[in-house]
């Protein structure tokens, strides 16, 4: 009996072993993970897709805590969104059909229909429109053909009530059990809603609805409002400037809504290395799987230069182009979100709020330009993808305005801000000459008293009308001179070095020129002096000096108006305009010329002969226009030498005349006051 029991136990064990060997075993469950769509374009933020499958099926209810990523061996803190593929997506298309969107409506309908086609078989969608009124055009349905027919029937009309339309869409989503999404598009500032943006965001968060917004070619301030709606509810925001971009945007939103895999992101602490090794490890149900990917990432230089490039000069009301340059060229694989302030003189130039983008880093992409103060333009680039390596960031128009004189206009940038990988900015300014011909430069000739036959005089040729220190001046001047005038000589004035002035005389014409552009020494002064005299003839003579032609350019401003002229009269040796004065009655001054650096004073010295002892004399100083600027003496004078101090003080530099008179006796002395 005992043997039988032993045999029976052995038989059972043998039978079990036989079954184990003969019956096929079910293989252990396999866990797989794949890491893909790695995006470094927004460094240091990196996004990727992690798909986890068990026996070929997407794993549901995956615990994000069981997903670990190492970048070059360093653990990263991940933000992960893992949808449950079994969930139903409930989507409301909130569509602007106001009158202003008429031109873009066909592209909008086409893009919305693509989103409908991308939904899963169990996903549902509804359509809310806002124009003349807010309408629930189609309640939730899985019938894609019905949804697309409703979209085909859209007609643009009415105003914009985006907030209230979105609020209505969220109310419709509140009753749905799936993942709740609203896709909102608008092309204008809300002007009819009874709800505001805060109410919309609060209700969306309360019912756990995600808002995805599309701002279609609207003002920056309303773009910001729509971005808030998306960011504060966990959605995405897009700005679109052309209807052709709508299809791409709706496709991206559809991918987010229907994505079955996990979407993860992390902030890397490395913006320099270009080779990255990413190891993704997932643990689920006691099993572990990993995937290793090596990727080349873009990088941003630690030092970047922003420079302004403007034309060398513009004339009034002319337009030109300026550029902002960036060096070294930004990577074409790294998104660029950058803002800075461009400074200029708004009294001299105007910059329209429309950038040039062709052939630049921002080609065919959106640039926001906003005036933030007088002569301050804030330029913002949002997630720009450089189309090709270029140092030319963007261009802008410049229009020269009228002002009182030519000016140098400085352009420079400040307050540079960049998102993503940091870089230290160096800024380089530029200067443009704005040629303002509102006040033309002109030539004037001083009036000259009647001259004694033996006297030499200096006739100053003055430039007036708004000289600018620091701007080059070019000058050419032609004067008529009478035939037979001898002793004529040209002396340099006080505006330029003597070697810059040239002159030629041809019979009755005198040509004077500054051959190369030269910086003037002052804002007003003498271009040149004509030295005339003495009269060697017997009779009185009179001759006319007249400006025949003049071009005075301080880079741009030519002479306009009548040309000046001057008549000079001079005593002869036998015929007199005035009673000739004995040589012993003399007027001199020392020093001559006298300078402002020496105090602006000179001593006027005059000698009274014995025969004029006790006569009454006056001693006046006249300016170049013949106006009295000072009376130095009035009274009876004994014979002998007398001295009187003349203080030019704050008087302008130029030629002054000391005039000693007693009855018909007149003696003059030209005194030159210089800097």
Quick: pLDDT tens for 345-362: 999 999 999 898 999 999
Average pLDDT of the segment spanning 110-123: 90
pLDDT, mean over the chain: 84
Which one is predicted more confidently, 442 or 130? Answer: 130
Cα-trace Rg, the chain: 45
DSSP 610: G
Fold of the domain built from segment(s) 586-674: Immunoglobulin-like (2.60.40)
Which of 76-80, 399-403, 466-470, 638-642 bottoms out in mean pLDDT, i.e. has the lowest?
Answer: 466-470
CA distances for 482 relative to 99, 298, 546, angstroms: 79, 79, 10
Of the candidates 119, 363, 130, which has an alpha carbon nearest to the alpha carbon of residue 251?
119
- pLDDT at position 9 is 41
Write down the pLDDT at residue 28.
47
Number of continuous H segments (helices) and E segments (strands) in the chain = 7, 43
Q: Which of 152-161, 201-210, 227-236, 498-507 is the most confident on average? A: 201-210
> Do the Cβ atoms of 671 and 589 come closer than 8 Å?
yes
Q: Torsions phi, psi of 464, nearest 5?
A: -135, 170
Q: What percent of the chain has pLDDT over 90?
A: 37
Tens of pLDDT, residues 293-338: 998 888 888 899 999 999 988 887 889 999 999 999 999 989 899 9
Nearest to 416 by CA among 337, 329, 331, 323: 337
Q: Is residue 476 pLDDT above 50, yes or no?
A: yes
CATH tag, 303-431: 2.60.40.680
For residue 466, what pLDDT band results from cuts at 50, 70 and 90? low
Residue 452, both tokens:
């004694």
What spatial distance separates the first Cα and last Cα of the chain, rounded to whole Å? 143
Confidence of residue 569 (pLDDT cuts 50, 70, 90): low
Q: Does domain 31-84+263-296 have CATH number 2.60.40?
A: yes
Query: pLDDT digit string (tens) for 606-640?
Result: 888 888 888 899 999 988 777 788 999 999 999 88
Comparing 162 with 448, the larger pLDDT belongs to 162
Distance CA 440, CA 560 (A): 6
Residue with tokens 């943006």: 197
Query: Length of the chain, please?
Result: 675
- Would you list the domain boundaries of the chain? 31-84+263-296, 89-244, 303-431, 442-570, 586-674
pLDDT tops 50 at residue 2 = no
What DSSP string describes 216-265? Answer: ES--HHHHHHHHHHHHTTT--EEEESSGGGHHHHHHHHHHHHH--SEEEE
Q: If residue 548 lies in a helix (H) or strand (E), which one and from where to where?
A: strand 541-553
Q: 64 or 174: which carries more pLDDT confidence?
A: 174
Same fold, 89-244 and 442-570: no
Structural fold of domain 442-570: Immunoglobulin-like (2.60.40)
Phi-psi domain of 57 (left: phi exceeds 0; alpha: psi -120 through 50; beta: other): beta
CATH of 89-244, one of 3.40.50.620, 3.40.50.410, 3.40.920.10, 3.40.50.2020: 3.40.50.410
């Amino acid at each position: 009996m005992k043997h039988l029991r032993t045999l029976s136990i052995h038989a059972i064990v043998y039978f079990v072993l036989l079954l184990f060997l003969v019956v096929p075993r079910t293989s252990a469950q396999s866990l797989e993970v794949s890491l893909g769509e790695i995006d470094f374009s927004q460094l240091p933020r990196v996004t990727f897709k992690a798909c986890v499958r068990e026996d070929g099926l997407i794993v549901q209810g995956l615990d994000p805590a069981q997903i670990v990523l190492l970048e070059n061996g360093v653990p990263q803190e991940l933000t992960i969104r893992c949808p449950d593929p079994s969930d139903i997506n409930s989507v409301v298309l909130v569509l602007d059909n106001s009158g202003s969107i008429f031109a873009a409506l066909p592209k909008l309908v086409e893009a919305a229909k693509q989103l409908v086609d991308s939904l899963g078989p169990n996903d549902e969608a509804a359509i809310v429109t806002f124009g003349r009124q807010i309408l629930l055009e189609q309640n939730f349905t899985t019938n894609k053909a019905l949804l697309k027919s409703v979209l085909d029937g859209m007609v643009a009309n009415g105003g914009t009530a985006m907030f209230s339309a979105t609020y209505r869409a969220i109310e419709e989503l509140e009753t749905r059990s799936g993942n709740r999404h609203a896709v909102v598009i608008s092309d204008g500032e809300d002007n009819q809603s009874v709800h505001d943006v805060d109410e919309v965001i609060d209700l969306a968060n309360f019912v756990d609805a995600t808002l995805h917004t599309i701002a279609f070619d609207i003002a920056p301030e309303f773009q910001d409002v729509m971005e808030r709606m998306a960011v504060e509810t966990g959605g995405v925001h897009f700005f679109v400037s052309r209807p052709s971009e709508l299809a791409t945007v709706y496709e991206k939103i559809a991918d987010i809504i229907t994505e079955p895999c996990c979407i993860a992101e992390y902030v890397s602490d490395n913006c320099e290395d270009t080779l990255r090794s990413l190891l993704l490890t997932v643990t689920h149900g006691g099993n572990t799987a990993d995937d290793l990917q090596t990727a080349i990432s873009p990088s941003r230089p630690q030092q970047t230069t922003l420079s302004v490039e403007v034309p060398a000069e513009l004339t009034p009301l002319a337009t030109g182009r300026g550029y902002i340059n960036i060096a070294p060229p930004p990577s074409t694989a790294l998104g660029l979100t950058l803002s800075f302030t461009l400074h200029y003189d708004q009294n001299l130039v105007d910059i329209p709020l429309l950038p040039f983008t062709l052939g630049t880093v921002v080609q065919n992409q959106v640039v926001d330009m906003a005036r933030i103060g007088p002569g301050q333009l804030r330029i913002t680039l949002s997630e720009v993808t450089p189309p090709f390596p270029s140092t030319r960031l963007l261009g802008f128009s410049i229009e020269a305005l009228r002002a009182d004189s030519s000016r140098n206009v400085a352009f420079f940038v400040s307050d540079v801000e960049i998102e993503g990988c940091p870089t230290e900015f160096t800024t380089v300014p530029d200067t443009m000459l704005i040629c303002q011909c509102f006040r033309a430069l002109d030539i004037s000739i001083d009036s000259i008293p009647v001259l004694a036959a033996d006297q030499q005089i200096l006739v100053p040729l003055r430039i007036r009308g708004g000289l600018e220190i620091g701007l080059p001046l070019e000058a050419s001047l032609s004067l008529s001179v009478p035939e037979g005038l001898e002793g004529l000589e040209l002396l340099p004035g006080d505006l330029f070095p003597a070697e810059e002035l040239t002159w030629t005389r041809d019979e009755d014409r005198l040509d004077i020129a500054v051959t190369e552009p030269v910086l003037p020494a002052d804002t007003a002064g003498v271009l040149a002096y004509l030295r005339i005299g003495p009269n060697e003839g017997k009779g009185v003579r009179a001759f006319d000096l007249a400006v025949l032609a003049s071009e005075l350019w301080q880079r741009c401003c030519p002479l306009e108006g009548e040309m000046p002229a001057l008549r000079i009269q001079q005593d002869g040796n036998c015929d007199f305009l005035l009673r000739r004065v004995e040589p012993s009655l003399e007027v001199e001054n020392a020093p001559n010329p006298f300078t402002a650096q020496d105090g602006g004073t000179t001593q006027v010295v005059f000698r009274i002969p014995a025969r004029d002892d006790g006569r009454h004399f006056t001693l006046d100083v006249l300016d170049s226009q013949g106006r009295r600027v000072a009376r130095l003496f009035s009274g009876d004078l004994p014979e002998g030498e007398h001295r009187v101090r003349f203080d030019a003080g704050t008087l302008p530099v130029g030629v002054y005349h000391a005039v000693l008179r007693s009855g018909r006796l007149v003696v003059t002395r030209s005194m030159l006051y210089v800097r």
